A and B are shown apart, each in its own frame.
Chain A
Amino acid sequence: MSVIDSLRQQIAACEAQLATLRQQLAEAEHLQLQSRRQAQEEVQPATFDPLTHDMSYGIHDDFRSEVFAALSHGDGSEQPPRSRWPLDKMEYKRYGRQLIMPEVGLQGQLRLKKTSVLIVGVGGLGCPSAAYLVGAGVGTVGLVDGDTVEESNLHRQILHSTARVGMTKVESAMVALNSLNPNVKLVPHAARLTPDTALSIFKDYDIVLDCTDSPASRYLISDTCVLLGKPLVSASALRTDGQLMVLNNPPLPPGDAAGGPCYRCVFPKPPPPESVVSCGDGGILGPVVGTMGVLQALEAIKVITRGVHSSVRGPAEAPSLLIFSAYATQMFRTIRLRTRKPKCAACSAQATVTPEALNSGSLDYVQFCGTINPVDALSPNERISVENYAKLRTGRNPITGTEVSADSHVLVDVREKVQFDLCSLEGSVNIPFSAVSRLRVGDDAVKIPATEEEERWIAELKARGDKPLFVVCRLGNDSQMTVKKLKAMGLDNGGQRWIGDIKGGLRAWREKVDHEFPDY
């Protein structure tokens, strides 16, 4: 027999076997369908009274599930075990790809399912972290945020959408999360977190994610987590950098040195308010903050699957700070952090942060972190309104009414160069505020000579020294500081040259003079 004939025979035999198997499968499926239909009919309200059932033949089907439930669980709050498997059929399918990983497995999935996670802040960090946690099948996700969706959020806050601009962030996120995984219970808390509401909101959750954007909220969230014994996954991002810490892990009571450090252990004192830069002022790249949010979800999953509930938890990792720098040669680096601080105001035996202090409102987080007062550095005669400046640009002195030439003044725009390049007023000179800040005055100027670039700025400002000098910025704060600095540098020729700022900056210009001027 040739090789070809032999192969042909083998194929024929296999095909016959395949046909038999298909037949058997069809029959088995048919039988299963029939028995299911039968079972459903039996569960339907019976046309006869089940109480008349003769118990000597066993328990009637209508009572069977109740009997099983009573046998397996003491309390009636649990659902009757519908299936032989610990997860629903749907759940095996949906979570299959993570279920087959040893890091999760059945135990991990069950832990995720019974865990409730609170996400404070539904912005650049909260959106991606919520998406991954809801996707992973966490039982309950609570969302805290008092803001509404704005257009400028959309490049990074991935749960929101163009159509939902104006909707509360909590509502908008719930729409997206619900369509992602309707099996997760979502709990809305559509208000800004405050000291008097923090304890009552946090107490129902097992783990907390700090996705907020201010020092005050970071201290409040950390304190609340320490008081209630909840692990905290904290992240932040600005421009191209991000930071991540898992705090209060393990979440042991205050005074227990074996507990993980809290935010106050790492940062006992808040930063000076003038050193705090927001995403609105400093800028933020979507994938940078997104990376940090995704990492928060990852850390939360690690804590949960390791057993946030169980008393025999695996050893927690040593406290660390992850630093992400998108444009550095080494994008990720991990820094070892200290353990709990023996004199920490929140988590030590000498803690002054107590539930009573929190509830009574005696802990003023906003005051603790300080605020920047609106800059009011100039006298009224050093300032001009946008309306009057607009008149001056059209060629008429708003005060005297006399004609002025187009080249009547110098306009200095102190926004950073990137912003200046986006849009600027015609004829304005750009001297970035960062450069102005670096210009030295008095003793400092003697000690460190100006760089070549700085010499150029100064020359630029001294040029046309007889003309009045107007300073403009984005919002009208940096312009005031600049006016003060320029005068200190003597650029006003001992008071002979007028130097002043344009009140309210380019925002006021857009609102009151030129509505077409870009709003970014």
Chain B
Amino acid sequence: MADQKDAETIPITVEFSGGLEMLFANERKLSLSLPTKDKEGNHVNVAYLIDYLCEKEMKDPRRDLFVLDGSVRPGILVLINEADWELEGEDKYELQKGDNILFVSTLHGG
């Protein structure tokens, strides 16, 4: 039984905007299936997702254009189901089935 539960995954959508898609082979939208628990057995959260994206999905070696000092770099907004992640607990937010996580890089042109 326990094994079966561990094998469960959390389907989520990840989207990129404002140029971040270029770091992910120009994919604006990814459908991911994450394990429910991380190595320590904790429920996976946004911090886990960011790590996962860097390790598994990012096609560009320039990691510092996405992460810096263990979190997303300044100038990137993380939106959990269309709301600023600061409203949801930032990277501690525990991912739920069907969540939409949007990473937006600020633009500066005008």
Once the chains bind, are B79 and A236 in contact (CB under 8 Å)?
no
**Contact-size category for A:** 35 or more
Please state if A284 and B109 are interface contacts (CB–CB under 8 Å): yes
A136 within 8 A of B: no
Query: Does A125 belong to the interface (CB within 8 Å)?
Result: yes
Q: Tell me the chain A residues, 273-298 only, with Cβ under 8 Å from chain B.
A: 274-279, 282, 284, 289
Alpha-carbon distance between A247 and B82 when the two chains are bound, in angstroms: 18
Q: A271-B75, A333-B82 are in contact. Are A243 and B107 (CB under 8 A)?
A: yes
Number of A-B contacts (CB under 8 A): 121
- Any A CB within 8 A of the CB of B61: yes
Q: Which of B31-89 contact A (CB under 8 A)?
A: 59-62, 64-65, 68, 73-77, 79, 82-84, 86-87
Q: Are B19 and A266 in contact (CB under 8 A)?
A: no
- B6-39 toward A: CB 8 Å interface, digit per residue (1/0)? 0000000000011100100000100000000000
One of B75, B82, B86, B109 near A272 (C-beta < 8 A) = B75
Q: Are B102 and A236 in contact (CB under 8 A)?
A: no
Are B106 and A235 within 8 A (Cβ)?
no
Interface residues of A in 431-474 (CB under 8 A from B): 434, 437-441, 444, 451
Flag whether A124 is at the interface (Cβ < 8 A).
yes
> A267 interface residue, CB < 8 Å from B?
yes
| Docked-complex contact B74 and A338, CB < 8 angstroms | no
Q: Which of B19, B83, B104 contacts A323 (CB 8 A)?
A: B104
- Whether A282 contacts B109 in the complex (CB less than 8 A), given A267-B75, A323-B17, A336-B82, comes out as yes
**Is the CB–CB distance between B109 and A438 below 8 Å?**
no
Contact status B108-A236, CB under 8 Å? yes
Whether, in the assembled complex, A255 has its beta carbon less than 8 Å from a beta carbon of chain B, the answer is: no
On chain A, the residues within 8 Å of B102 by CB distance are: 335
A238 in contact with B19 (CB, 8 Å): yes
B55 to A, closest residue via Cβ: A447
Point out the residues of chain B lying under 8 angstroms from A211, CB to CB. Answer: 110
Closest to B65 in A: A275
Interface residues of A in 11-37 (CB under 8 A from B): none
Contact of B108 with A213 in the complex, beta carbons under 8 Å: yes
Contact status of A277 and B19, CB under 8 A, knowing A267-B75, A336-B82: yes
A103 to B64: give the CA distance in the assembly, Å: 46
Q: In the complex the two chains form, is A267's CB within 8 Å of B109's CB?
A: no
Q: Which among B61, B68, B110 is the interface contact of A437 at CB below 8 angstroms?
A: B61
CA distance A269 to B107 in the complex (A): 14
CB within 8 Å for A242 and B107 given contacts A269-B74, A272-B68: yes
A438 touching B19 by the CB < 8 A rule?
Answer: no
Q: List A contacts of B87 (CB < 8 A).
A: 336, 338
Q: A243-B104, A325-B28 are in contact. List 14 more A-B contacts (CB 8 A).
A: A123-B110, A125-B110, A239-B19, A267-B77, A269-B74, A271-B75, A272-B73, A272-B74, A278-B109, A328-B17, A335-B82, A337-B84, A338-B86, A437-B60
Pairs of residues from A and B, 9 with the lowest C-beta to C-beta distance, nearest first: A271-B75, A269-B74, A279-B109, A238-B109, A213-B110, A236-B107, A336-B83, A125-B110, A238-B107
16 contacts between A and B (CB under 8 A): A236-B106, A236-B107, A236-B109, A236-B110, A237-B109, A241-B17, A241-B18, A241-B19, A243-B107, A270-B74, A271-B75, A271-B106, A272-B75, A289-B110, A323-B104, A336-B87
